[in-house]
Amino acid sequence: MNISNNKILITGGATGIGFGLAERFVKEKNTVIICGRRESALNDAKGNLPALITKSCDLSDAGGREELYNWVKKEHSDLNVLINNAGIQQWMNISDDNFFQRAKEEITINIEAPVHLASLFQNLPSLEVIINVSSGLSFSPLSKVPVYCATKAFLHSFTLSLQHQLKPRNIEVIELIPPALNTDLGGLGIHDAYPPVSGFIDAVFDQLKQGKTIIAYGTSERMLNAGPQQLQQAFSRMNPVE
């Protein structure tokens, strides 16, 4: 994709990786719209980066996703890039009382929302690029976040098919595969020990400039390129027997 002169919607763009992408895309002379549930997070993001356009939305609800699409169609009909970045991560165990309820929440935000948004936004005549944010955990799961990892494996697979289906229409589909990074994903403090978002954002822009459509970095790059034996070793390392 061209990295300048786009109009881009980043879901979950007020914080973490989404905000890192928003900052860099603004710097590269793009118009960037961010959306999310918390008005306070959207306002903080706009305070730090006044060029941003903000829109509050709840992607857990099909009506909220349709409303977002209809708003873009009416107010920003020249939007050409959709970035499905919003996601949640929940630590849970199959024997928890509320396991299924929480699993459904995660499936809704991490799977239903990007699938539904892709199906809505491909109708936008100006659309040229869809970027989906999966995870290094798509390839080797961390059993503490079992449903999260499975949702990201789904998104990885779905993105490959979407790339193939949309190619004849010249809509480019790109997958970003972050490694573990220091954001508030999963709750305050859980990711504090991991590297800052900035290194990943640098890698994303380097690789976008090279025309890559599957973008990984650090441990996620190793997972993407690992063979079956390396994946088995990674699983054992990440999930020691207690």
Ligand X SMILES: NC(=O)c1ccc[n+]([C@@H]2O[C@H](COP(=O)([O-])OP(=O)(O)OC[C@H]3O[C@@H](n4cnc5c(N)ncnc54)[C@H](OP(=O)(O)O)[C@@H]3O)[C@@H](O)[C@H]2O)c1
Active site (catalytic) residues: 148
Cβ contact 25:82 at 8 Å = no
> How far apart, in Å, do the first and last CA atoms of the chain sit?
46
> Is residue 223 involved in binding ligand X (CB under 6 A)?
no
Residue with tokens 């790339």: 163
The distance of closest approach from Cβ of residue 125 to ligand X in the complex, given in angstroms and rounded to an integer, is 25
Tell me how far apart the alpha carbons of residues 5 and 233 are, in angstroms, rounded to a whole number: 44
Burial letters 172-181, b for 16+ CB under 10 A, else e: bbbbbbbbbb
> Is residue 180 involved in binding ligand X (CB under 6 A)?
yes
> Is residue 147 involved in binding ligand X (CB under 6 A)?
no
Site string for ligand X, 17-56 (x = CB under 6 A): xx-----------------xxx--x---------------
Nearest CA among 229, 228, 230, 225 for reference residue 215 = 225
Tell me how far apart the alpha carbons of residues 18 and 154 are, in angstroms, rounded to a whole number: 20
> Is residue 178 involved in binding ligand X (CB under 6 A)?
yes
> Is residue 60 involved in binding ligand X (CB under 6 A)?
yes
Question: 119 to 138, contacts with ligand X by CB under 6 A?
Answer: 133, 135
> Is residue 159 involved in binding ligand X (CB under 6 A)?
no
- Positions that interact with ligand X (CB under 6 A): 11-12, 14-18, 36-38, 41, 57-60, 85-89, 109, 133, 135, 178, 180-181, 183-185, 191, 194
